[in-house]
Structure 1
Amino acid sequence: MPPNPPHVPRPLALIALTVALALGCTAQPDTAADPDAPEARLSGVLLDMQMDEISGLAASHIHPGVLWMHDDGGNPARLFAVSTRGRRLATFGVEDVVKTDWEDMDAFEFQGKRYLLIADTGDNGGLRRTLQLHVVEEPTTLTNARLKPAWSIAFRWPDGARDCEAVAVDAERGEILLISKKREPPELFVLPLQPPDRELLTATRVGHLAGVPEPDPETLRRNPKRARLDGQVTAASVSPDRRTLAVMTYRYLLLYPRGAQQDWAGAVAGTPRTSVLPWLPQAEALGWSADGESLYATGEFIPAPLYRITP
């Protein structure tokens, strides 16, 4: 979330988007300009005011056609089960945690169980000395309930505070990936998924993201504030086959392929496949589908489109 976000009106374009969904319209890429552009289809629209300020998304691997989402800081500690059409199916309160600024989430399997990781890592002002990650078992029934963390991780950065809104899990490597938001180029950090018996961990910086688009001079001249935000990283997700890291910025989708012998630091040092996102009201939530064939993406503020993007 950008610092001190202004009030965002509910533009007529978004209302028209809801009508487009009812008529079965889809958002198509400009294939004439970019024949390799991902296809972005409108999957649904978020209209429920309880889900204003969505900042994290992960596809369920237990419930077909269900996405997990959470909202930003300033709201209760809760998770939403949402259909791929955008309808809220259930709400789960998360107990025994203090919600400061939840900014991303991921779903993963570990030691035979399905889990959801919640990243309380937002820090607009660069003031937080410690941050938290919470892991809960993925609910097996979609009925309003309360959850408690299976475990939590408290950590700090190695060299001072920074904002982080993009977190992903590679359970096979036992790693949590964290990407800084405002540093140029963005930094990649790792933490252990199953932490040692220590109260406070220090994230390890392992690399930087290559290929994040920079604003062109004309965009900087016309709208310098917007231009500087376009490349800031707001979400990340590792594909189910662990071959691709998807990274979202306010304007772009970047896909970093990983070779069989590469770690993620090596993958993000390479050239990503980059495309412009379909229009979103503050793009902040991204996650691979359970089958790994596409990505779901949405943004803050209601109403918001929910896209299914096929790379």
Structure 2
Amino acid sequence: MRLELPPLSRRLAGIVLGVSLLSGCARSDDAANHAPEARLAGALLDMRLNEISGLAASSQHRDTLWMLDDGGNPARLFAVSTSGRRLATFGIEGVTKTDWEDLDAFEFKGKRYLLIADTGDNGGLRRSLQLHVVEEPTTLANARLKPVWSIAFRWPDGARDCEAVAVDAERGEILLISKKREPPELFVLPLQPPARELLTAKRIGLLAGIPAPDPEILRRHPRRARQDALVTAASVSPDRTTLAVMTYRYLLLYPRAPHQDWAAAVAASPRVSVLPWLPQAEALGWSADGRSLYATGEFVPAPLYRITP
């Protein structure tokens, strides 16, 4: 989903202003009950990185993030440094790209993979959606990749938009969070189904603690206020103790106790904070060491933040 933004020169100025006001903005919002440390790690300036809608940290390549862009662009992944420099582009063969919205990196049965979520559906028209799994490249040089396996699925009760997908490889699960439903719904799919057939995602819970619209913003900018809490990304921490969820304005952290499943975890109140300034917050992922989160937006230029919870 694309929101209207000002011209390039004004966006550059916005990055500078947003970073300079970063700490103050986070502390001044009454809806936030937790203020993590956020610092500017870099910036996305390469026009090929316009419309980034998903990211995941590589556990194989130091200081490297994987990113993908939205629908309307070629089927490709980008390797990007943690300072925002594009390192390589990988074309994905044998798939039709409809609306890629999230990305995750995981290790499964001794191999490293990337999961591509073709799950966007702004109009609520898609009858089926796809997830594609590719092996993480061992070399950061332009190349082409083919999925090792793909999953076709549908929702149990009609179409919905989904921009937040995360993998819990230890449980063999893919978590999916609806974008526009109130409250957001949590679904699950098997990570590696035994047969190639159209699956039905299983709804297992609802996300608690989504902030209500800010009254002042609702009065002055009603459309923006309604969009602030729409879910745009998700990521499970490497130690599987926290699910991070991004909306256009907020970062929500759902801790999970050892005895809990994710349905129980998201049913409890999360830690909520206001995100640093982003020109449409759509990409979020834990760092490989699990100590922080990387976040960026969908337009170029865009800041790339490292957020320490």
TM-score of the alignment, normalized to the shorter chain, above 0.5: yes
C-alpha distance after superposition, 1:135-176 (max 9, x if no partner) = 000000000000000000000000000000000000000000
d(CA) in 2 for partners of 1:29, 1:141: 41
Amino acid at match of 1:282: Q
Residues 15/86 of structure 1: CA separation in 2 closer, same or farther (3 Å cut):
farther
Q: Which moved more, 1:185-194 or 1:6-15?
A: 6-15
d(CA) in 1 for partners of 2:258, 2:117: 28
2:307 is paired with a residue of what secondary structure? strand
d(CA) in 2 for partners of 1:187, 1:11: 38
Q: By how many angstroms is 1:218 displaced? A: 2.7
1:205 aligns with 2:195: no
1:48 aligns with 2:72: no
Q: Could you tell me whether the CA contact under 8 Å between 2:294 and 2:305 is conserved in 1? A: yes
Query: Map of 1:175-190 to 2, 5 A cutoff?
Result: 175-190=173-188
Query: Map of 1:121-270 to 2, 5 A cutoff?
Result: 121-270=119-268
Q: Which moved more, 1:217-226 or 1:66-75?
A: 217-226
1:173 is paired with a residue of what secondary structure? coil
Q: By how many angstroms is 1:187 displaced? A: 0.1
Q: By how many angstroms is 1:17 displaced? A: 3.8
Query: Matched residue pairs, number?
Result: 306
d(CA) in 2 for partners of 1:103, 1:147: 19
d(CA) in 2 for partners of 1:20, 1:8: 14
Q: Which moved more, 1:213-222 or 1:140-149?
A: 213-222
d(CA) in 1 for partners of 2:289, 2:49: 25
d(CA) in 2 for partners of 1:20, 1:229: 19
Residues 82/52 of structure 1: CA separation in 2 closer, same or farther (3 Å cut):
same
Q: Which residue of 1 aligns with 2:294?
A: 296
Amino acid at match of 2:117: A
Runs of at least 4 residues of structure 1 off by over 3 A? 5-8, 15-21, 25-36
Q: Which moved more, 1:189-198 or 1:241-250?
A: 189-198
Which runs of 5 or more structure 2 residues have no equivalent in the other structure?
A: none
Query: Map of 1:2-151 to 2, 5 A cutoff?
Result: 2=2, 5-6=3-4, 8-12=6-10, 14-15=12-13, 17=15, 27-28=22-23, 36-151=34-149
Q: Could you tell me whether the CA contact under 8 Å between 2:33 and 2:272 is conserved in 1? A: no
d(CA) in 2 for partners of 1:27, 1:285: 18
C-alpha distance after superposition, 1:43-71 (max 9, x if no partner) = 00000001100000000000010000000
2:7 is paired with a residue of what secondary structure? coil
Percent sequence identity over matched residues? 77
Q: By how many angstroms is 1:199 displaced? A: 1.4
d(CA) in 2 for partners of 1:141, 1:19: 37
d(CA) in 2 for partners of 1:191, 1:87: 34
Which runs of 5 or more structure 1 residues have no equivalent in the other structure?
A: none
1:246 is paired with a residue of what secondary structure? strand
Residues 102/204 of structure 1: CA separation in 2 closer, same or farther (3 Å cut):
same
Residues 134/158 of structure 1: CA separation in 2 closer, same or farther (3 Å cut):
same
d(CA) in 2 for partners of 1:11, 1:165: 29
2:41 is paired with a residue of what secondary structure? strand
**CA-atom RMSD, angstroms?**
1.9
d(CA) in 1 for partners of 2:21, 2:291: 18
